[in-house]
């Protein structure tokens, strides 16, 4: 009879041991997932919020974007986040690349045409025709290693039409926008 009582008293210990083992396993899994996300969001992608309306209608105020600079080489049409010291209170801005190194850009403000290398751009993504000039004189040739950027909301965007931003060194690009994460109704690739 004493043997039966000893067996009974051992069972709760086994049960609590199994519980703590499962709890440890869950904690270990959670820690692994946390480390994975920290590494991914530190070295590969970033979540960046939009502040303002310069990229409307493509991006709106308070949108959250997934941005990456992994193996990135700037191309015309890409939406990028950049940070140029001394511009916009040293805060990152989001703009569209219109021209890259070696391209000649001209803007005809009477016809609202943006012309790159002699060809008028087809720009279905802009909010309205381009009439705001800024203080840059056109035509301009983009130096190698630089980009010319504009907001999609052309008449409410501080961009490369201003000499304070001008041609942007590619090294100031923090990454290109992969997708919109929030709001959920805009979730998906941007163009």
> Is there a single domain that holds both residue 67 and residue 31?
no
- Alpha-carbon distance of 71 to 69, in angstroms, equals 6
Same domain, 91 and 35: no
Mean pLDDT (the chain, rounded): 87
Residue 63 and residue 27 share a domain = no
Q: Are residues 32 and 88 in the same domain?
A: no
List, in order, residues 6 or more apart from 32 with CB less than 8 Å away: none
Q: How far apart are CA 82 and CA 93, in angstroms?
A: 6
Residues 71 and 154 both lie in one domain: yes
Identify whether residues 31 and 119 lie together within a single domain.
no
**Over 80: is that where the pLDDT of 114 sits?**
yes
In contact, 69 and 113? CB cutoff 8 Å: no
CATH label of the domain that carries residue 169: 2.10.109.10
Query: What pTM value is reported for the model?
Result: 0.78
Among 14-18, 27-31, 61-65, 66-70, which is the least confidently predicted range?
14-18
Supply the range of the domain harboring residue 101: 47-189
Work out how many domains the chain is built from and give that number. 2
Residues 12 and 96 in one domain: no
């Amino acid at each position: 009879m004493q043997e039966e009582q000893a067996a009974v008293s051992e069972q709760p210990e086994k049960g609590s041991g199994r519980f703590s083992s499962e709890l440890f396993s869950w904690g270990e899994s959670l820690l692994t997932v946390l480390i994975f996300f920290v590494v991914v969001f530190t070295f590969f992608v970033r979540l960046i919020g939009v502040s303002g309306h310069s990229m409307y209608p493509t991006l709106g105020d308070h949108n959250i974007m997934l941005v990456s600079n992994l193996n990135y080489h700037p191309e015309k049409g890409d939406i990028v986040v950049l940070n140029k010291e001394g511009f916009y209170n040293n805060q990152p801005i989001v703009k569209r690349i219109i021209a890259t190194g070696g391209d000649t850009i001209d803007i005809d403000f009477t016809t609202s045409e943006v012309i790159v290398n002699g060809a008028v751009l087809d720009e279905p993504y802009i909010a309205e025709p381009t009439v705001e000039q800024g203080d840059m004189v056109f035509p301009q040739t983009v130096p190698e290693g630089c980009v010319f950027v504009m907001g999609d909301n052309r008449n409410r965007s501080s961009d490369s039409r201003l000499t304070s931003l001008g041609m942007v060194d590619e090294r100031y690009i923090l990454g290109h926008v992969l997708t919109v994460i929030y709001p959920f109704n805009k979730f998906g690739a941007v163009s």
